[in-house]
Amino acid sequence: MFRLLNLELQKLLLNRVSKVLIFISFILPFFIILLSSLKINVFGFFTLELGELGVFNFPIIWHLTTFFAAQFKFFFAIVVVSMIGNEYSNKTLKQNLIDGLSKKEFILSKFYTIVFFSLVSTILIGLISLCIGLYYSSYNEPSIILMETSFLLGYFAKLVGFFSLCLFFGMLVKRSAFALAFLFILFILEWIIFGLITWKFDLKLAEKIQNFFPLKSMHKLIDQPFQRIAMSKFPDNSELAYDYALHWYEIAIVLGWTALFIFLSYTLLKKRDL
C-alpha cells in the first residue's frame, strides 16, 4: 500500500498544477477561522460577531465546520480527474504497466491517494474545529466536546465517495474537463429522475429514493446547519425541526457507491485496450 501511495504522491508533487491545487485544497479550510472572527457592522448601530452568537459552541461546531469545509472539495476533485487525464495524455499509464505495475495496483494507487488526502483533510478540519470551539464555546466538558464528532466520519466518507466518483468519471472519459462536466450532468440527471418519480407517484417516495442517488447520498451525510442554528435560537418553533443527525445507513450507502465506483474504474481499465 505504502509503495503505491508513494508512487502516486511523487507523480502529483512533480506536477506544478497539482501542487498548487493541493495547496489550495488544504489552505481554504482555514478560512473557517476567519469566518469565526468575522465582525459585521449592522447599519452603524452595532457590531455583530459570529463567534459571540454561540454558533461555534460544542457540539454544533463539528456540524458547522464539516459542512463548510466540504464545499471546498471541488479543488481536489480537479486533482483527481487530472491524475487520470495526465496518465493518458503523458502515456505514463502504459509505461507503468510495462514497468510491472498491474492494472489493479494502478487503480489502488489512485484510491490510496484519495483516502490519504481525505484523511489529512479530516484531521485538519478536526483540529481547526477543536481550536475554534475551545476558544469560543461556553462548554468545556469532555463529554460535550466529543459529542457529534461523528460528523468528522461523515466528512471523511463524503470526500472518499465524491473523489471515487471523480476517479470513475476520469477513467470513463480520459479527459479532466469532460469528467468534471459529467458531475454536472449527473447532478441534473438525479433531479430529473426525482421530478419524474414525484410526478408519477408522490413526493415522500421520491425523497426516499433520492437519498440513494450518488450525489444526494453524499450530500445527506452532512445536512445544512443553518436550520439547526435557527432551532437553537427559537426552540419553541416546531416548524424548524429536522433530522440533521448522521446515521449509519447513510454512511453505508456512500461506502457502497464508493466500492462500486472503484470496481467500475478497475473494470474499465481491465477491458480497455491501451
pLDDT at 47: 53
pLDDT at 51: 64
Mean pLDDT, residues 2-9 taken together: 81
Q: Which three cell numbers stand for residue 49?
A: 460577531
**CA quadruple 135, 136, 141, 144: dihedral sign:** negative
Which of 13-22, 97-106, 171-180, 217-226 ranks highest by mean pLDDT? 217-226
Q: Is the pLDDT of residue 46 over 50?
A: no
Instruction: Mark out the alpha helices in the chain (DSSP H runs).
Output: 2-14, 16-27, 31-36, 60-70, 73-89, 92-98, 103-136, 142-146, 150-173, 176-200, 203-210, 214-220, 226-233, 248-271
Mean pLDDT, residues 104-122 taken together: 93
